[in-house]
Structure 1
Amino acid sequence: MLRIGLLGASGIAPAAIIHPAERRTDVTVMAVASRRPSAAADYASVHKIERFYDDYRALLADPDIDLVYNALPPSEHAEWSIAALEAGKDVLCEKPFAMNAAQAERMLESAQATGHRLIEAFHDRYHPLSLEIDALIASGRLGDIVALRADFSVGNPFEPRGIRHVPALGGGALMDLGCYPLHWVRSLMNEEPAIVSAIATTNPLGADMSIEAELRFPSGTTAHVSASMEAGPNETSTLDIVGSRGTAHVDNLVFPSAGHSISETVDGITRVSTVAGLTTYDHQLDAIVTALAQHTPMPTEGADSVNNMIVIDAIYAAAGINRQFN
């Protein structure tokens, strides 16, 4: 039985952890911690969680917790993920992994020093759709990959108290949304890109409301990555792949269980397909259970998390957005 503790009485945890755990017999959400008065108790009551704490360290001291899910704001990912690792827990940390690459490096160093697992919650990476895209590239049907275009945009009007809009809390379109398409293109190419250019629009607090970046990989493949909170009411997450022999368009990579498609055109013939699967979060939890039991590596841990933050830092620098965090 994998026993999970939640850091934060968060809005994402029911979909990401609680409900997927309820659909299994080998996982239980045992505890939740929140520093807001009575929030943990109320949350535990609603979600039928056995234990609740008004202090994060009290949850970390619970000897019955195996895995900590860190769904705190990005500004607290480094501090509390490291604290959880040092308390002897494995950690599933929400994306974006940290505030910058320097924090990500310290987190990775802690995981290596303690011998415990530190996994970034790019849940989409564990859906069969992601594996199907990998297989498409590996098959060579599209030929050499010439260019990629990836976007994740969700309307989120400016709210000065919303964590997604406050730079000091880790807000911004690239941090909240753009980390996904950036991860897609890096994973597909299995290379680390250079930043050619980047441009952003910002809110009154200085967080990016929209951002676009041009990347170039060592192999010569180019990529355009974009994200926007200025979009309309419809969420979009798309990937376009241009090869020397054909193209592919993938729709809804982030939440494919809500409906998605792969449109592949080779030699003038278009084929549209979908991939069967559960929610991305169900697949992520299944992968975690397997990896912890079998001591096998996962694609969203280790250097991958650090390298994604290195590119995020570089995109912000190219866009002229100054982000100074320790």
Structure 2
Amino acid sequence: MENTIRWGIVGCGNVTEVKSGPGFQQAAGSELVAVMRRNGELAEDYARRHRVARWYDDADRLIGDPQVDAVYVATPPASHKEYVLAAAGAGKPVYVEKPMAMNAGECEEMIEACRKAGVPLFVAYYRRALPRFLKVKQLLSMGAIGEARFVTTVHTKKLTEDPGSLPWRVRPEISGGGHFFDLASHTLDLFDFLLGPIRDAAGRAGNQGKAYEAEDVVSGTYVFESGVQGTGVWCFTAYQGGEMNEIVGSRGKLTFSTFGSEPIRLTTADGIGDYSLEHPEHIQQPLIQTIVDELLGKGRCPSTGESALRTAKVMDELVKIHS
């Protein structure tokens, strides 16, 4: 591990094809040396297509591979805790997909296991390292909108799921919840990054479309430690999809999307300014680079188990009451 971090992936599914997998190969000081999937044929196919030296159909074998320095867990949330604990038990740093786990309690167990093992734990809230959101943070830091006062989020999506063939993301026994846990987690974690920790939250969850068991609508309020207040509505059975965040301050406001490519808009008494920043091809690569840099003693990663735990706690509170 002196000059290069050699990675192994547990769960080389869709998210690893473009978003993350190539990032481990292209980040400086990083190499992807092994992948695992329970279906050995699919693991072998991935390894061949991505020019990865070794593949496994057993997670323990990959985690125990002496040529693997660090482990990326890219499975659905139901197995995150199991594999993170296994990696920690092997004394290996671990990077786990978001949401970090099924609930905040599991997150705490994962953090404690890594602490006892003396290994770092990172979480794939990769927006913390993207140029687009670093620009938002810069504008806030330079006082472009004055002092932040409140934030709002509205996120809608059409109901497209077939009740007879539900994707894992809306099956609570696999994902921990519905689209709220998968999508809103990015936005809430991003606000933690931009404005600091949220100190308390309250909300209501419901199931309006009746297409699956998970919540399909959530509304809530929250307050940051700084005193900034926030509100959000996430509805996944609306007539159309859309998503936007707004941070209102004492001298202006910032409007931006968590998932879209619309320009960041700064509105003040002096007028309107737009900032367009493209995402990198492999969207997790900037965060992966910060992880590699930290493991090599060259920097710090902004997305840790502790920061992801804060996001998990907020989500748990926002869905605590079902109406």
TM-score (norm 2): 0.88
* Structure having greater relative contact order (Cα 8 Å, sep ≥ 6): 2
Matched, 1:109 2:112: yes
Match of 1:175 in 2: 181
* Equivalent residues of 2:196, 2:225 under 8 A apart: no
Match of 1:238 in 2: 244
AA in 1 matched with 2:73? N
* Equivalent residues of 1:182, 1:225 under 8 A apart: no
Residue 113 to residue 38, structure 1, CA distance change in 2 (3 Å): same
Match of 1:165 in 2: 170
**1: CA distance, partners of 2:161 / 2:88:** 35
Equivalence map 1:194-213=2 (5 Å): 194-201=200-207, 203-213=210-220
**2: CA distance, partners of 1:209 / 1:140:** 36
SS at match of 1:38: helix
Residue 153 to residue 29, structure 1, CA distance change in 2 (3 Å): farther
AA in 2 matched with 1:198? R
Matched, 1:16 2:23: no
Gaps of 5+ in 2: none
Residue 198 to residue 23, structure 1, CA distance change in 2 (3 Å): same
- From 264, 267, 273, the equivalent of 2:266 is 264
**2: CA distance, partners of 1:233 / 1:281:** 28
AA in 2 matched with 1:314? E
Matched, 1:186 2:188: no
SS at match of 1:64: coil
Gaps of 5+ in 1: 321-326
Residue 46 to residue 108, structure 1, CA distance change in 2 (3 Å): same
**2: CA distance, partners of 1:318 / 1:268:** 43
Residue-by-residue CA offset, 1:171-191 (whole Å, 9 max, x unaligned): 412211010111122222213
- Number of residue pairs matched by the alignment: 315
* Equivalent residues of 1:150, 1:185 under 8 A apart: no
* Equivalent residues of 2:203, 2:321 under 8 A apart: yes
Matched, 1:129 2:132: yes
* Equivalent residues of 1:85, 1:111 under 8 A apart: yes
How far did 1:156 drift? 6.3
Match of 1:36 in 2: 39
* Equivalent residues of 2:196, 2:226 under 8 A apart: no
Matched, 1:313 2:319: no
Residue 317 to residue 291, structure 1, CA distance change in 2 (3 Å): same
**1: CA distance, partners of 2:223 / 2:233:** 14
Q: Between 310-319 and 99-108, report the one with greater CA deviation.
A: 310-319
How far did 1:9 drift? 2.7
**2: CA distance, partners of 1:59 / 1:172:** 30
Aligned CA RMSD, in angstroms, stands at 2.3
How far did 1:237 drift? 4.5
* Equivalent residues of 1:15, 1:281 under 8 A apart: no
SS at match of 2:128: helix
TM-score (norm 1): 0.88
